[in-house]
A and B are shown apart, each in its own frame.
Chain A
Amino acid sequence: MYQGIKISGFGGQGVISAGYLLAQAGMMEGKEVSFFPAYGAEMRGGTANCSIVVASDEVSTPIVSTPDTAIVFNEPSLAKFEPMVKPGGLLIINSSLINSKATRTDIKVLYIPCNEIAGELGNGKVMNMVALGAFAAATGAISIDAIEKALPKVYKKLKPEVIELNVKALRRGAEIKA
């Protein structure tokens, strides 16, 4: 099993922490993992991205040039990462903020209104968890349980009720069918 993942969006959308969370969850599930954040001149409002590998064997390189899955939270990220997705791979598009449609026909595409769903749950900030839930359910690369268990390890300062909200968002995302 090998799953190379790219997550991309505006700084502040939880791109980097979502990636860190996936790596932590994968590790806790006993898989080999790596996490590499793009660390350019990113700032709040700019575009940030990160690469995650979750695999059953040793991770040869942390650099993901042809992702099995790309999760894009904003318009510029769609333009940048859609062409890179491996044929047969998965593209998760945050349709709350992205109006464009994917042009490729050789990949699976999920349109998820992440911000709206998170808003309905009570806090727009958990939009990244909606996407992770959908990713986990669609690929089976990481279990929802593992992500749940990893949450307090990554978000060390969050109150239990906020963790609970993140879990809700994850589960809601997992209900979305590919």
Chain B
Amino acid sequence: MAEKKLMKGNEALAEGAVRAGCRFFAGYPITPQNEIPEYMSWRLPQAGGAFVQSESEVSAINMVYGAAATGVRCMTSSSSPGMSLKQEGMSYCAGADLPVFIGNVMRGGPGLGNIAGAQGDYWQATRGGGHGDYRTFVMAPNSVTEMGNFPHKCYEVAFKYRIPSMVLADGIIGQMMEPIEFTTPEINPKALIEPAWALGVNNGRAKRIVKSYDLREGYLEVMVNERVKRYKEIEANETMYEEKMMDDAEIAIVAYGTSARVSVAAMKLAREKGLKVGLLRPITLWPFPKARLVDLSKRIKKFLVVEMSLGQMVEDVQLSLNGRAEVHLLAKPGAAVMTADEVYKTMDAIVKKGAKEYAAAK
């Protein structure tokens, strides 16, 4: 058996990307994700790749636009304020159908905010974030092991459907250390087949163009609609979630990342006290596990969304359920973290007092 290793979440994400075939990284420092570029700065040259500390976040996202256009598995990473700067470039990547991979280790916001962990970039990540209509494949890890193994899936989806992909973590997942086990296979990028659209040396083959526009009358609509077909396939085939103790649950928590970890602790507390609680943890935030929520609502009539934000994912839960069940919210904005006890007490209030009294008590 391989020796278990303690690793920081950020380092695991970087190593996971290299193992998944990443050979180009460009980024600009920002806490709490600095271990990602730090790790890449020595690891990529070792793996025969290239690392660039760019002069800004804007240039970093445009460098990976260029790298991805050649069909290379590439990555950039940042934290919340830096991600805002990358949004224009991300929109261009989406428009040019480029399979870039992005890591966002969220911190407190808005503005400069602070460097503690938060989940305030959910809307930015799942709604596109940049201008125009587009989607990003977004995975939300809740452990160091998932940080290390999710890049593999992100590249797989990104290249299969030609879509930007993202790991959306929070500062706590990025900074914490846990034993890690890499379960995904190591990819040798040289063994991968060059995509049919990738730019490079033209040995007499037909001309290839990567761009985010088509100026011919009516062709933008054609381009976007062709992309929509791929979005629908992703929604049908790539939605991921995890459930805990859902079989006999009377109330279900919906949470991701660190909130989901705290919720598991709350769930254990609640179960000890006889409260039948289950957890639905969306692993992909886009596509969101809508169908599963609808399914659960046939049996469970109370949902509690737990988030380290003003309440963003709660809207996806409401949109999915569309009035089929009560949706409650425990929100912690400003880089605050809920305690397991708070989550337990909120559930207890919802179950015992009923929804109306709970709302009045607030």
Which residues of chain A are near B261, meaning CB under 8 Å? 60-63
Which residues of chain A are near B116, meaning CB under 8 Å? 40
Pair A39/B264 contact, Cβ less than 8 Å: no
B31: Cβ under 8 A from any A Cβ: yes
Pair B175/A37 contact, Cβ less than 8 Å: yes
Chain A residues with a Cβ closer than 8 Å to the other chain, count: 19
B340: Cβ under 8 A from any A Cβ: yes
Which residues of chain A are near B32, meaning CB under 8 Å? 39
Pair B175/A61 contact, Cβ less than 8 Å: no
A27: Cβ under 8 A from any B Cβ: yes
How many angstroms between the C-alpha atoms of A35 and B268 in the bound complex?
Answer: 21
A24: Cβ under 8 A from any B Cβ: yes
Pair B175/A63 contact, Cβ less than 8 Å: no
Which residues of chain A are near B6, meaning CB under 8 Å? 20, 23-24, 27, 33, 35
Q: A60-B261, A60-B264, A61-B265 are in contact. Are A27 and B115 (CB under 8 A)?
A: no
A36: Cβ under 8 A from any B Cβ: yes
Which residues of chain B are near A56, meaning CB under 8 Å? none
The stretch of B41-49, B176-184, B208-216 that contacts the partner chain: B176-184
A139: Cβ under 8 A from any B Cβ: no
Q: A20-B6, A35-B6, A39-B32 are in contact. Are A63 and B172 (CB under 8 A)?
A: yes
- List B224-283 residues whose CB lies under 8 Å from chain A: 258, 261-262, 264-265, 268
A35, A41, A60, A61: the one contacting B177 at CB < 8 Å is A35
- List A7-39 residues whose CB lies under 8 Å from chain B: 20, 23-24, 27, 32-37, 39
B339: Cβ under 8 A from any A Cβ: yes
Pair A27/B265 contact, Cβ less than 8 Å: no
B337: Cβ under 8 A from any A Cβ: yes
Pair B177/A40 contact, Cβ less than 8 Å: no
How many angstroms between the C-alpha atoms of A24 and B177 in the bound complex?
Answer: 10
Q: Mark B149-187, 1 if CB is under 8 A from A, else 0.
A: 000000000000000000000011001111100000000
Pair A62/B265 contact, Cβ less than 8 Å: no
Q: Mark A134-173, 1 if CB is under 8 A from B, else 0.
A: 0000000000000000000000000000000000000000
With both beta carbons as reference points, the residue of chain A lying nearest to B342 in the complex is identified as A65
- List B323-362 residues whose CB lies under 8 Å from chain A: 337, 339-341
Which residues of chain B are near A35, meaning CB under 8 Å? 6, 176-178
Other than A36-B172, A63-B337, give 13 A-B pairs with Cβ distance below 8 A: A20-B177, A23-B177, A35-B178, A37-B175, A39-B171, A39-B175, A41-B115, A60-B265, A61-B258, A61-B264, A62-B176, A62-B261, A63-B172
**Residues in B lying within 8 Å of A, measured CB to CB:** 4, 6, 31-32, 115-116, 171-172, 175-179, 258, 261-262, 264-265, 268, 337, 339-341
